[in-house]
Chains A and B, each alone.
Chain A
């Protein structure tokens, strides 16, 4: 079997990073709106905001690197994307990205100014921007799935549930990125440096820390649960149908080219183990048997696994979709 990948690692990286950034923005805006001006919620919202633009920008840059025109020396030919707007998912997505950067940039700026805190002069602007940020984050995240799903010639991708899968995975990786950023910032001293030099998070009382962590962990658990459900439905319908789609799902079945990547990388590492680890920690409070206690597993191990799983998910879908062929001619 020989294959030629039309879309390779740059596109996979874009789908992952754009999903992560958009998910981080949604997480950030949700934390801000849910937090009732609590400094701990605000601090986590800032991590999401800080992540939201560079990740999506890096992903978009990867996408430009992958363009045939860029590779042949026409470095700015991609501007042609913004000379028209049509019903191509890529055209809509390109304009959506512009809108995303335009709305997210002032939102992120309100977090980055020195001495910013949950009750500063930007409080109203920040909250007003948070609502469109949630919508745009969902838009960018779901568009990555629509992009792949629009083509009947790629049977593995041509499923409406793929966009939902990518959306859920994007928000899940967004939450994971916020949790792990907090952990890393504490460990390597960035948080302390920012408090001293930029005046961020000076008055830390940690009253909302467990509460915010619980909110993130429980939301993440719900999203991972839904992701497992969507993958189950995706598989069930592909397995029960006939023809192209039935043939295409064989790349993930026993003996398929990406079976191990999918079942170990995505399902086991990315979904099953994280959801079990998180359930152990959130169940006491969820069932009213006790408080949520801070856990290193939840803030570090789970996010790492979710991020790895999220990347492998994009990888197996993008590569698998190109290996899966149309039956017949």
Chain B
């Protein structure tokens, strides 16, 4: 057991106690814990200032602020674009599962074409709501209709409260939101929480042919998403927006047609949505 792979998903056998792992395990965990603690403290400091707390706020105050904004379970998705073949199965599954009206998408796949023959590339970028830890849409909602669920960190919209003012549609940098013409409320991906709360995977994950979409709790270090993120270089979309997305991409192509202006090469992105261009 001493040589146990840290990233293995094999559960510890019942007859082996945690103590057996001390020589290897403790060193790794303390190093990573102190690293995380430091990062956590820094982010708490930021939160404290933003929340109007005193700069000299003590640790309990910080912990309270942290507890108020972070969820115990944070569902997340890792999208391994190396495994995506651009088949749109997720798009179709999502539309069918969530009864998404014609002309709208909660989930979509963008194709990126670039270069000139023979140096060309085509890549796929599956898109959905990023279920941000600091959602810009929630900040602007005037009625409190959209909120981040405390129990699992999913950003949802309450159809009975939403008035359809479309303020959040502007605020979302990922263009994940649209006005549902049937209900008159704003709609978006909700990680299929009706399925997830029953123990099923979201519909898009369930249907993905190449297993490019992996879903799980990012706060659980043993989950597949945590382990993938630990072992792979990954990125999020529009990191500079400060929204702290919970959809992570492995090997994503961040090329955008607007990059082509200064990179002097051909880049074309098709969203496969009603509006073909990225917002």
Listed in ascending order, the chain A residues whose CB lies under 8 Å from chain B are 1-4, 6-7, 66-74, 77-78, 80-81, 83-84, 86-91, 94, 147, 150-154, 247, 322, 325-329
Q: Scoring B residues 91 to 115 as 1 if CB is less than 8 Å from chain A, else 0, what string do you get?
A: 0000000000000000000000000
Q: In whole angstroms, how far apart are the Cα atoms of A71 and B185 in the complex?
A: 10
Q: How far is the CA of A88 from the CA of B184 in the complex (A)?
A: 21
Chain A contacts for B141, CB-based, 8 A? 86, 88
Instruction: Determine the chain B residues whose CB is within 8 A of the CB of A83 once the complex forms.
Output: 143
22 A-B contact pairs sorted by A residue (CB < 8 Å): A6-B166, A6-B179, A68-B162, A68-B184, A69-B184, A70-B164, A72-B182, A73-B184, A77-B163, A77-B164, A80-B143, A81-B142, A84-B142, A86-B141, A90-B167, A94-B142, A152-B136, A153-B172, A325-B279, A326-B173, A327-B256, A328-B259
State whether A68 touches B256 (Cβ < 8 A): no
Check B276 for interface membership: any CB of A closer than 8 A: yes
Distance to closest chain B CB from A301 (angstroms):
37
CB distance from A189 to the nearest CB of B (A): 42
Task: Determine the chain B residues whose CB is within 8 A of the CB of A66 once the complex forms.
Answer: 165
**Is the pair A150, B173 in contact by a Cβ cutoff of 8 Å?**
no
Docked Cα-Cα span, A152 to B172, in Å, equals 9
Is A78 in contact with B139, judged by CB distance below 8 angstroms?
no
Given A69-B163, A84-B143, list of 15 further CB < 8 A pairs? A2-B275, A66-B165, A67-B165, A72-B184, A74-B184, A81-B142, A81-B143, A81-B163, A83-B143, A90-B140, A150-B140, A151-B140, A153-B241, A327-B256, A329-B278
Determine chain A's interface SS by DSSP, over half rule: loop
A151–B259 alpha-carbon span in the complex (Å): 23
Say if the beta carbon of B125 comes within 8 Å of chain A. yes
Number of A-B contacts (CB under 8 A): 123
| Alpha-carbon distance A72/B161, docked complex (angstroms) | 14
The minimal Cβ–Cβ distance linking A266 to chain B, given in whole angstroms, is 22
A residues near B164, Cβ cutoff 8 Å: 67-72, 77
Q: Sorted from nearest, which 4 A-B pairs have the closest CB atoms?
A: A68-B164, A72-B184, A90-B142, A153-B173
In the complex, residue of chain B having the shortest beta-carbon distance to the beta carbon of A1: B277
B254:A329 contact, CB within 8 angstroms: yes
Q: Are B170 and A88 within 8 A (Cβ)?
A: no
Contacts of B142 in A (CB 8 A): 81, 84, 86, 88, 90-91, 94
Q: Within the complex, what minimum Cβ distance (angstroms) separates A175 from chain B?
A: 30
Say yes or no: B167 contacts A153, CB within 8 Å: no
Closest Cβ–Cβ distance, residue A329 to chain B (whole Å): 5
A76 → chain B closest CB, angstroms: 10
On whether the beta carbons of A153 and B258 are closer than 8 Å, the reply is no
Q: How far is the CB of A11 from chain B (nearest CB, A)?
A: 9
Residue of B nearest to A91 (CB): B142
